[in-house]
């Protein structure tokens, strides 16, 4: 959805104003226009860098 960032900001404003009770309510506002999959050309090189980032940052995901 082209307006995704604006709708997200509007929802957070409603949440802050008490017009929404939970962040989970944002699902009512969400829709998916398309799914973007990672490019195979980029997946390999970035996978190793991400693994190193997790290791250096002390992440439990590594």
> What stretches of 1-62 show up as alpha helix (H) in DSSP?
4-16, 40-57
pLDDT range class, residue 1, cuts 50, 70, 90 = low
d(CA 49, CA 54): 9
Provide the pLDDT for residue 22: 93
Residue 2 confidence (pLDDT) above 80: no
Q: Is the pLDDT of residue 62 over 60?
A: no
- In this predicted model, what pLDDT tens digit does every residue of 7-54 receive, in sequence order? 889 999 999 999 999 988 888 888 778 888 888 888 888 888 998 999
Exposed e or buried b for every residue in 12-33, given b needs 16+ CB within 10 A?
eeeeeeeebeeeeeeeeeeeee
């Amino acid at each position: 959805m082209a307006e995704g960032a604006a709708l997200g900001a509007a929802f957070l404003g409603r949440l802050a104003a008490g017009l929404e009770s939970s962040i989970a309510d944002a699902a009512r506002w969400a829709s998916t226009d398309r799914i973007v999959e990672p490019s195979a050309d980029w997946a390999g090189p970035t996978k190793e860098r991400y693994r190193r980032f997790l290791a250096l940052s002390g992440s439990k995901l590594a």
